[in-house]
Structure 1
């Protein structure tokens, strides 16, 4: 008997079916406009963009403009790239515009899909960011799709590491900007460390389209982006501690592989204390539990984690004198990424490479909170449905499964489970040999570099020619993947399966043409292309006849998405193909999640060596295990986000205040409010409300006024006057302090004073925020222990971090007021002294470099050729510290470049 839900779905369709049905109506409108747009000239396509931009500025909604915008974009892409978007691609673009995730299978052309919503949303003039997972894809996609945007009269830029500032600023100013998630996040943090608006790169967080959205918003969500500065060097301690770890025995610690956690047992703590005393690291009279031992305990814990939780060639590789982390989800190297809290240094000590100094956090943000800054967010991937709940709960993103342009013809076989890893690998080699001999290209997925190299050795022994793609061959990734579809090709890939580059049956035509041009530069490119395309058709048909691409996975990943990504490399665009997973009871997932019961069951069945169990029930039980792991990981990310949200609210307040300060022309009112608040606090402290005059501490208030406000006023005499209350004294102090600061502003000059106030405020905010971040890190590392006292760690963290933030704001007011009160213009004598010191240092530096010191430029010089006083366009583009082009001899920032 059918359930009500099943009957309803049969009658009304699933929610996904209803969205697809509604989308088909809009796609029909776009298709109806196609003949009209085909008749437009190239200039008329650009004119159409200008017309749509004007209508968008005039208040027309983007939904109303969508059919025309999509039709214009489709025609622009057809002319620029020779590609006419399928209806399913228009659908994917529509769902992206609506702020959803479009789940589109591999090979469905997601790169082109992004141009439609990007073009439509860029009509508002606020810019669109298209986010990719690595720099290669960002540059490739921007270069490729810029042809489309330029054909439509729009600008397209790309952001990449170590880009010159002027190029980066221009790229962010484009209508559509391609960038990696890392560069966007770091630029956001860098922008909020700048001291002038003109130095900031990002102009708006309007709309982002995130490619491989599951990788960026889920797999990398736990890793914060951190801009840090160097801290004290403690490399000797790491090396000393590292030598002690191998002396620990198995009963000295508990290793939990499910939660990836390792902790000392009571016996371990006692043994450790004894070892530390014996080595002289811990004083004899000092216990391991003493507050003074915190640093040593922290180092020992990180040393233990480095040895027991992090494996070489799986979690990281050693490249020269550097430890390079490996992304557990993509298998790619994460160059420049370091583990925080001293863990990276502990791994460096373990591997005997140079230990880099620890860092202190200057600014940080998680991808979860960075991407939630956008007014509208959307994403594309081949695998998102398994994480639909998380996308909805964290990012308010719906997931829509877009139908494929052609039906999927891939055959997915049931998992084959073997008793031991050896039996499994023997069977895998045999399976690869069979496919290879039949000419069927095979893509083999492994979960670590170590296993990919082990399998590679087995294939070498068996005489099977193959390519290996892991973090060590990172640079050749695109080439190796392009060759993976050739007749009889065997490719071993670590968890990445060539993301961003399609595996085309018979090989990649464009790569073949590039290789031919390199081999014979004199040949005619058109003739070469025609010849290669003709030969490729025969290759493609031969591969199809051999069964298409065979995806063979050597293990199940703890995330179903990673398995689905690998499986999805086969059967693109209706191609034939097959996929199979070969597992053993010794695999990590099977071993950690209940393989004992399965082992007993297989023993009872009397399985012989080399035999596998293949049954749908096995698939279901594995999927349940994977769903459990995914659920647990989601809970961890959700909990981390709750903690990070507390800091994020404070981050937004600080960054908004910084921006307000940079935008303000005159900060005197803000500074005055701070000063009055400090006076208010001082009067409340030394003359408590509802207290008698005899209880006032006027001596303390007098001293505080000199220290904090820089004013020497007769507070004691005022308090002795008849009928004077605390309110009267507050007003007199405010008047005296305001007059004192007004006199100081007159000494400096109004412009200089405004500049001093701005820089002082920004520097003080930055310093206090850095201290606050460090305090929050320490609080977060210990607040978990409050749970033992039956108190909720999150609530404790919220309460204490709010109190710390209030304290930050109080001390900020005090520090700014005190520093402004203490500054004064330098006397001529002091200026001369400083100039002499500077010249002496300069001469010493030049002498050390073997250069003769040039005479200091103090006298006025001739103005730069063509310089016109009232026309800034004739001044060139001097930096703030260059000599002013007017020839005054002053720095530009102190002359014509002075801030007004």
Structure 2
């Protein structure tokens, strides 16, 4: 019997259906204009862009311009790339323009879709940012879609790490800028550490289109971007603690895999105290509960987490003597990204690699708060509906499911659950062998490097040729995935499977077209596409006859989204295909979330070895478990965001003040107000309201005036005058300090004085903000314990952080006033030297910021082969030294890579 909700949906359609239906007329308007724009010359397309820009400047809305702009952009893409946007792509682009997430299935052409919405919104002249997950895609999409934008009279830039400042500024000044989420975030932080307005890269945050929006705004949103500088080196402590942790017995700690938490038991604390006393890290009477043990407790907690929660080749890998984190959602190496709070150092000690010093935070922002800076935000992905609630609540983004251009013909089989991992792998190898024998390409999904290599070993033993794609081979990602749809191909991939590159049956046409166009830019793209498509037609027929792409997953992920991404690789644009999930009771998700009930069912059924339980109920049960995990992860991210929102309000105030200071021609009014406020504070402190003159602390007042204002006036004598009050003394102090600063300005010269005021203000703000960030980090780490006293940790954090912020602003006023009071007129040479010193200090701060951010991103660029590098032609390798990076772009030393083969 159908439920009321099901009946209503059949009669009225779902909310998603109604949105699609309401937008169809706009698509028809775009289609109706197609013949008109097809008649335009190439120059006519550019003239149309200029006409649109003028109409926007005169007040016409982008909504009114949409049909014409989309028709113009569609025609530009058809002429330059030989691609005509489908109606479904136009539909998705309309929802992007309206500030939604367009959920398009794999292979539906998200890159071209984004170009339509980007072109329309770039007509305002405020710039559009298109965000992708890695720098390979930044370069690829900027080059690819840049041809379309150029044909329409618009400029395209790619902002990547390791670029010069001037090159990156030029990229941001373009109409459309492609960049990774990391680079955008770091550039924003670096911008807010600059000292001159002309050095700012991101002029405004107008409109951003985020590709793989679920990956960027949800998966990566848990880790803030941090620009940091090195602090004191405590590597010895990590090494000593690392020798203690392996001595622990299971009863010494509690491990909760569901929440990924680990803590010491009372027995564990007693054991640790004995071990630490034996190593002279604790005094004979000292315990781990004493205040002076805080640092040691921090180190042993991080050591325990490193050993019990972080597994090699799952959470991280060791490459060239360096611990590289692995993104649990995409399987990619996060080169340069480091865990904070000493956890990365603890893992380095565990693996015996060089321990790099901990860092002090100079600036920090979460992706949630960075992307909420934009006036309008949109996103694209193949899998967003499962997280629609989070997108709506955190970012105010709606999710619209776009229908496929051709109906999906893929068969999704029910999950098969085996008792053991060995039985599961044996069944998978058998299925792969069956598919391979008939020429059906197979994509095998795994969740870690370790498991992908284990499966690879089994396939090798079975005599099956295959490619492996995990964090160790991520440089060849695009090529491996492009070949994954070829006849009888077998590809093993971690969760990163195919991001940004389609698996096309018979091979990837787009990559071949791009390669041909790069080789001969003058060639006709339509003719090239026709030729390459004809070459692939025979191969595709064979693969279609074999049943299309077969996706086999070796286990379910915590998130349904990741499973759907893998499943979506098959059945692209109406192609046939099938997907199967092979599970065992020993899988992490099954073991942690409910294998006991299934074990009873399997026992009751009396399953023999090698047999599996296959039933839709199993799928439903697993999806419910996944939904619970997703809900818990959402709550964690929401809680983290609530804490970061507190800091974000303060960040916006500080960054806003910095921008105001850089934009101001004359800061004399600001520093004068600061000085007068310091005088008010001094009078309130030493001459409290409703007190008599004989109760005033005149000696302390005199000393404070000299220290903070650097003016020697007879305040003690003033205080002893008959009938004098605090207001009279305030006016006298203001008069004396104003005259002193006016004399200094005359001696320095107005322009020099304005420069000094600006640099001192910026330096003081930066220094105080860095100290404040560190204080907030410490507050954040201890405020959770307030919950034991029945107090809300978030409210406690809000109240105390606000008080700390006020204290910081008070100390900022004092700092600026004190420094300006102490500067003295000097000779031209001394003045020049001082200005140079100020500039040098600012440059040092910016250099530290660049080094920190570039450390996290440098490797992505290093993974691009050197210009002209050809694998099989040693004459193209240049002449690298043995210890220099290999020209193939692997990131390894030449002697460990191609130098070993030479």
Give your verdict on TM over 0.5.
Answer: yes
Measure how far apart 1:52 and its partner are: 0.8
Which position in structure 1 is the counterpart of 2:337?
337
Measure how far apart 1:519 and its partner are: 13
Residues 58 and 516 of structure 1: CA distance in aligned 2, closer, same or farther (over 3 Å): closer
Which position in structure 2 is the counterpart of 1:878?
none
Which position in structure 1 is the counterpart of 2:434?
434
Map Cα deviations across residues 643-687 of structure 1 (whole Å, 9 max, x no partner).
Answer: 000000000000000000000010000000000000000001111
Q: Distance in 1 between matches of 2:394 and 2:834?
A: 56
Measure how far apart 1:718 and its partner are: 1.6
Which position in structure 1 is the counterpart of 2:714?
714
Q: Distance in 1 between matches of 2:71 and 2:753?
A: 56
Q: Distance in 1 between matches of 2:4 and 2:626?
A: 29
Measure how far apart 1:507 and its partner are: 1.2
Larger Rg: 1
Which position in structure 1 is the counterpart of 2:493?
493
Measure how far apart 1:528 and its partner are: 9.7
Residues 524 and 24 of structure 1: CA distance in aligned 2, closer, same or farther (over 3 Å): closer
Which position in structure 1 is the counterpart of 2:580?
580
Map 1:783-862 → 2, pairs under 5 A = 783-826=783-826
For the pair 1:629 / 2:596, whether they are aligned, the reply is no
Map Cα deviations across residues 300-329 of structure 1 (whole Å, 9 max, x no partner).
Answer: 111111111111111111001111110000
Which position in structure 2 is the counterpart of 1:75?
75
Which position in structure 1 is the counterpart of 2:738?
738
Q: Distance in 1 between matches of 2:217 and 2:404?
A: 24
Q: Distance in 1 between matches of 2:518 and 2:343?
A: 46
Which position in structure 1 is the counterpart of 2:276?
276
Q: Distance in 1 between matches of 2:20 and 2:832?
A: 77
Measure how far apart 1:515 and its partner are: 8.8
Which position in structure 1 is the counterpart of 2:355?
355
Residues 562 and 264 of structure 1: CA distance in aligned 2, closer, same or farther (over 3 Å): same
Measure how far apart 1:693 and its partner are: 1.5
Map 1:137-148 → 2, pairs under 5 A = 137-148=137-148
Which position in structure 2 is the counterpart of 1:589?
589
Q: Distance in 2 between matches of 1:430 and 1:421?
A: 14
CA contact (8 A) 2:81 2:526 kept: no
Map Cα deviations across residues 732-759 of structure 1 (whole Å, 9 max, x no partner).
Answer: 1111111111111111111111100000
Measure how far apart 1:518 and its partner are: 12
CA contact (8 A) 2:82 2:529 kept: no
Residues 142 and 728 of structure 1: CA distance in aligned 2, closer, same or farther (over 3 Å): same
Measure how far apart 1:825 and its partner are: 2.7
Map Cα deviations across residues 273-324 of structure 1 (whole Å, 9 max, x no partner).
Answer: 1100011111223221111111111111111111111111111110011111
Secondary structure at 1:210's aligned position in 2? strand
CA contact (8 A) 2:129 2:176 kept: yes
Measure how far apart 1:254 and its partner are: 0.6
Map 1:41-80 → 2, pairs under 5 A = 41-80=41-80
Secondary structure at 1:673's aligned position in 2? helix
Q: Distance in 2 between matches of 1:98 and 1:54?
A: 22
Give ranges in structure 2 of 5+ residues lacking alignment.
838-902
Q: Distance in 2 between matches of 1:693 and 1:366?
A: 52
Which position in structure 2 is the counterpart of 1:217?
217
For the pair 1:288 / 2:314, whether they are aligned, the reply is no
CA contact (8 A) 2:81 2:525 kept: no
Which position in structure 2 is the counterpart of 1:403?
403
4+ long deviations beyond 3 Å:
1-4, 509-520, 523-535, 826-835
Which position in structure 2 is the counterpart of 1:40?
40
CA contact (8 A) 2:69 2:120 kept: yes
Secondary structure at 2:434's aligned position in 1? helix
Measure how far apart 1:703 and its partner are: 1.3
Map Cα deviations across residues 125-157 of structure 1 (whole Å, 9 max, x no partner).
Answer: 100000000000011000000111111111111
Map Cα deviations across residues 706-751 of structure 1 (whole Å, 9 max, x no partner).
Answer: 1111111111222222221111111111111111111111111111
CA contact (8 A) 2:674 2:817 kept: yes
Measure how far apart 1:829 and its partner are: 9.9
Map Cα deviations across residues 12-31 of structure 1 (whole Å, 9 max, x no partner).
Answer: 21110111001111001111
Which position in structure 2 is the counterpart of 1:412?
412
Q: Distance in 2 between matches of 1:828 and 1:197?
A: 26
Q: Distance in 2 between matches of 1:30 and 1:833?
A: 63
Measure how far apart 1:422 and its partner are: 0.7
Measure how far apart 1:834 and its partner are: 10
Secondary structure at 1:114's aligned position in 2? helix
Give ranges in structure 1 of 5+ residues lacking alignment.
838-900
Measure how far apart 1:535 and its partner are: 3.8
Map 1:3-152 → 2, pairs under 5 A = 3-152=3-152
Which position in structure 2 is the counterpart of 1:539?
539
Q: Distance in 1 between matches of 2:829 and 2:357?
A: 42
Measure how far apart 1:212 and its partner are: 0.2
For the pair 1:560 / 2:548, whether they are aligned, the reply is no
For the pair 1:198 / 2:193, whether they are aligned, the reply is no
Residues 703 and 532 of structure 1: CA distance in aligned 2, closer, same or farther (over 3 Å): closer
Residues 828 and 147 of structure 1: CA distance in aligned 2, closer, same or farther (over 3 Å): closer
CA contact (8 A) 2:144 2:514 kept: no
Residues 832 and 220 of structure 1: CA distance in aligned 2, closer, same or farther (over 3 Å): closer
Q: Distance in 1 between matches of 2:808 and 2:793?
A: 22
Secondary structure at 2:428's aligned position in 1? helix
Which position in structure 2 is the counterpart of 1:778?
778
Q: Distance in 2 between matches of 1:171 and 1:795?
A: 42
Secondary structure at 1:220's aligned position in 2? helix
For the pair 1:160 / 2:157, whether they are aligned, the reply is no
Map Cα deviations across residues 793-842 of structure 1 (whole Å, 9 max, x no partner).
Answer: 0000000000000000000000110111011133589789999x9xxxxx
Which position in structure 2 is the counterpart of 1:870?
none
Q: Distance in 2 between matches of 1:794 and 1:383?
A: 32
Q: Distance in 2 between matches of 1:829 and 1:89?
A: 65
CA contact (8 A) 2:446 2:554 kept: yes
Q: Return the TM-score normalized by structure 2.
A: 0.90
For the pair 1:757 / 2:744, whether they are aligned, the reply is no
- The alignment's C-alpha RMSD in Å is 2.1
Residues 833 and 462 of structure 1: CA distance in aligned 2, closer, same or farther (over 3 Å): closer
Measure how far apart 1:516 and its partner are: 10
CA contact (8 A) 2:80 2:525 kept: no
Map 1:610-625 → 2, pairs under 5 A = 610-625=610-625
Q: Distance in 2 between matches of 1:515 and 1:664?
A: 50
Secondary structure at 1:344's aligned position in 2? helix
Q: Distance in 1 between matches of 2:515 and 2:663?
A: 53
Measure how far apart 1:700 and its partner are: 1.5
Q: Return the TM-score normalized by structure 1.
A: 0.91
Q: Distance in 2 between matches of 1:346 and 1:31?
A: 60
For the pair 1:641 / 2:644, whether they are aligned, the reply is no
Map 1:406-555 → 2, pairs under 5 A = 406-509=406-509, 511=511, 533-555=533-555
Q: Distance in 1 between matches of 2:629 and 2:472?
A: 28
Secondary structure at 2:323's aligned position in 1? strand
Secondary structure at 2:163's aligned position in 1? coil
Residues 704 and 518 of structure 1: CA distance in aligned 2, closer, same or farther (over 3 Å): closer
Q: Distance in 1 between matches of 2:71 and 2:363?
A: 44
CA contact (8 A) 2:329 2:496 kept: yes
